[in-house]
């Protein structure tokens, strides 16, 4: 698979996490491998694209659904005990 295809797939993974709030086990395994990929694409390493995707996953997927390695490095904001996330409705 080409470096451009891997970068596009990683970007899509971040979008999927944002839109659906979930991620499957196989995608997590591939994301973990991509975080070690030093292939350069357009002046950026693939692992940089992977770090952006991991950050999105950590932000939008429930902490309980994330493996420890991802939760520790890329977890999004913590909510106070008992707090719930409310969906924001766009006025448009």
Q: What average pLDDT does this structure show over 26-38?
A: 94
> Between 80 and 88, whose confidence is greater?
80
Whether the predicted pLDDT of 45 surpasses 90: yes
Banded pLDDT at 26 (limits 50, 70, 90): very high
For the chain, give the percent of residues with pLDDT over 90: 57
pLDDT at 19: 93
**pLDDT for residue 73 is more than 90:** no
Cα distances (angstroms) measured from residue 9 to each of 31, 39, 81: 10, 15, 35
Q: How many CA atoms lie within 13 A of 46 on its CB side?
A: 21
pLDDT band at 83 (very low <50, low <70, confident <90, very high): low
């Amino acid at each position: 698979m080409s470096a451009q295809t891997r970068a596009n797939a990683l970007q899509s993974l971040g979008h999927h996490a944002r839109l659906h709030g979930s991620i499957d086990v196989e995608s997590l395994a591939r994301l973990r491998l991509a975080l070690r990929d030093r292939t350069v694409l357009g002046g950026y390493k693939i692992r940089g694209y992977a770090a952006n995707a991991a950050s999105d996953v950590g932000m939008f997927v429930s902490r309980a659904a994330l493996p420890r390695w991802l939760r520790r490095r890329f977890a999004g904001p913590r909510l106070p005990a008992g707090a719930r996330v409310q969906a924001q409705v766009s006025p448009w």
